[in-house]
Amino acid sequence: MKTITPYGTMCKDVFHAYMVQHAKFDGEMEIPCVKTTEKLPTRLVPFSHAIAEKNHSGFVVFYEHDEKIEALWNQPNRYLPILKRFDGVITPDYSLYYDMPLVMQVWNTYRGKAVGAWLNDNGIPTIPNVRWSDERTYELACLGVERNSTIAVGAHGCIKSKQYKQQFIDGFDYILQRLCPKTVIVYGRAPSKIFCLAKLYGVEIIAFESDFGLSHKKEVG
């Protein structure tokens, strides 16, 4: 199907330009801005579980392997009615690997924020996920995110080694000082040693155990 894109060209919208047709953009990279809801989640529901989930309280999250969340980008309108059932959505956590070319990291950051702008347009309460890799992406991660508001971060798998832990701390401390969030939603463990600066600044930390962590506890128990 051919459509008129926001850029005025008659073509198939393979880049999903319609998602950002009402968006404002931030920085030289022109990352879409996301309006942050004042709602806070009481529960997180992985996107791969959302279709079958009968309890619609909580926010849908995308802290899963990319192959499980690509469906939203490929067919967003198919999943829109499902997302609308829930209290809100935390924007997609597309991967940013340290050894991934920077241009791919910019693209994945853009995609996450584009989905956020599209969720805004469709009246869904939204919290921006903030993802970074090394120091090249610290400022990039902050683009399109409101200051003095709520952000979400995925800590699961990011603090499993000394090197990863320090990289996570360095990036998170930068983001704290740049965005000055009131609340940080953490998917995964939130050790005091890592989030001590946030607590020192008086930032509210709301942590939710990862899906893997919960299943592992059940197995151990």
Interval 92-133: pLDDT, tens: 999 998 889 999 999 999 999 999 999 999 999 999 999 999
> What residues are paired with 10 via a beta bridge?
4
Query: What is residue 160's predicted lDDT score, i.e. its pLDDT?
Result: 60
Among 16-25, 46-55, 170-179, 194-203, which is the least confidently predicted range?
194-203
Query: What is residue 7's predicted lDDT score, i.e. its pLDDT?
Result: 56
pLDDT category at 202 given cuts 50, 70, 90 is very high
Mean pLDDT of 9-37: 91
> What residues are paired with 205 via a beta bridge?
184
Query: What is residue 161's predicted lDDT score, i.e. its pLDDT?
Result: 63
SS (HEC) of the chain = CCEECCCCCEECCCCCHHHHCCCCEECCCCEECECCCCCCCCCEEEHHHHCCCCCCCCEEECCCCHHHHHHHHHCHHHHHHHHCCCCEEECCCCCCCCCCCHHHHHHHHHHHHHHHHHHHHCCCCEECECCCCCHHHHHHHHCCECCCCEEEEECCCCCCCHHHHHHHHHHHHHHHHHHCCCEEEEECCCCHHHHHHHHHCCCEEEEECCHHHHHHHHHHC
* Average pLDDT score, the chain: 89
Q: What is the spatial distance between Cα 99 and Cα 73, in angstroms, rounded to a whole number?
A: 23
Alpha carbon separation from 136 to 147, 183, 209 (Å, rounded): 20, 25, 29
pTM for the model stands at 0.89
Residue 84, phi then psi, degrees to nearest 5: -70, -15
Q: Could you tell me whether strands 10-11 and 3-4 are parallel, antiparallel, or unpaired per DSSP bridges?
A: antiparallel
Nearest to 119 by CA among 35, 24, 181, 56: 35
Query: What is residue 3's predicted lDDT score, i.e. its pLDDT?
Result: 42
Counting residues of the chain whose pLDDT is more than 90, the rounded percentage is 74
Structural domains of the chain, with CATH: 41-220 (3.20.20)
Residue 218 has pLDDT above 60, yes or no: no
Query: What is residue 156's predicted lDDT score, i.e. its pLDDT?
Result: 73
Neighbours of 112 (CB within 10 A): 27
